[in-house]
Amino acid sequence: MADYLEYDPQTIERREVYRLLTGSVVPRPIGWASTVNEEGITNLAPFSFFTVVCVAPPMISLTIARNPDGSKKHTLLNAEATGEFCFNVVTVPNWKAMVDSANGFPEGDSEFEHTGLTPIPSVKVSAPRVQEAPIHFECKVERVLELGVNKHPLLIGEVVYFHVNPDVMEGGYIKMEKLDPLGRLNGFFYSTMGEILHREFHDGQPR
Ligand SMILES: Cc1cc2nc3c(=O)[nH]c(=O)nc-3n(C[C@H](O)[C@H](O)[C@H](O)COP(=O)(O)O)c2cc1C
């Protein structure tokens, strides 16, 4: 048996804990969240501490860490103020614009202008969607949990409307080769899909 390296998160530095988490939970999907504030200024930012929560009703979650000064990020402020946000699926053609949308821009500037991405209106929420993304979820804030001693905000949203570009659909499924999704690895590294593997359950029934 290998001699595993062992780490106690209570005795190592925060940076090392981050490296263990983000190097082990891979590849992560990216919750690319678009919001608008009460003045109508749009906002767009990626969050890879992101996942699907449940199906009925459909919910997703994003962990939106506080800024180093303890303040809340714009995405969370906007989602809390309006009760709404959109999730946009990140695909390979959009990956550089997604990274650029994480840059801090001056207060009042929109990441849409800086990245050249196109905000389009939603059906049920005030938050815009990213036209260049093939899938959008319109979400209403279900709740914001504050976790642990540092009260890390976990934003949970209920999906109230789905938009899917028909180009990525085939036979009622979202076809991965057509979607071309992007994964977040650790550091500044990202992954494309690679080889797709297939193995069915014993009963052979589609899910
Ligand atoms: C690929 C990627 C993933 C990220 N994931 C997270 C995350 O899970 N949680 C987080 O708080 N910040 C994450 N960030 C950083 C935020 O996107 C960044 O702080 C952004 O400026 C926040 O924007 P806002 O203040 O407009 O909400 C990530 C950045 C990148 C490039």
| Contact between 47 and 30 (Cβ < 8 Å) | yes
Q: Which of 47, 66, 110 should be mutated for ligand 1, with most atoms under 8 A from CB?
A: 47
- Is residue 20 a part of any domain in this protein? no
Q: Which two tokens stand for residue 42?
A: 């749009």
Ligand 1 nearest-atom number relative to CA 66: 11
d(CA 22, CA 33): 20
Which domain CATH number covers 103? 2.30.110.10
Residue with CA closest to ligand 1 atom 26: 74
* CB count in 10 Å sphere of residue 168: 19
Give a yes or no: residue 4 inside a domain.
Answer: no
156 occurs within a structural domain: yes
3 state DSSP class of 170: strand
pLDDT of residue 99: 98
User: What's the gap in Å between 61 CA and the centre of ligand 1?
Assistant: 14
pLDDT of residue 52: 98
Say if 63 falls within a structural domain. yes
For residue 97, being part of any structural domain is answered with yes
Domain assignment of residue 110, given as a range: 28-185
Q: Please give the distance, rounded to the nearest whole angstrom, from the Cα atom of residue 124 to the centre of ligand 1.
A: 25
The number of the ligand 1 atom at minimal distance from the alpha carbon of 111 is 26
Average pLDDT for runs of 10 along the chain of length 207: 96 98 98 97 98 98 95 97 98 98 88 96 98 98 96 97 98 98 98 96 80
Tally of domains within the chain: 1
Tell me, what's the pLDDT at 107?
Answer: 76
In a domain, 140, yes or no: yes
User: Residue 199 domain-assigned?
Assistant: no
Judged by DSSP in three states, 72 sits in coil
User: Does residue 94 lie within any of the structural domains?
Assistant: yes
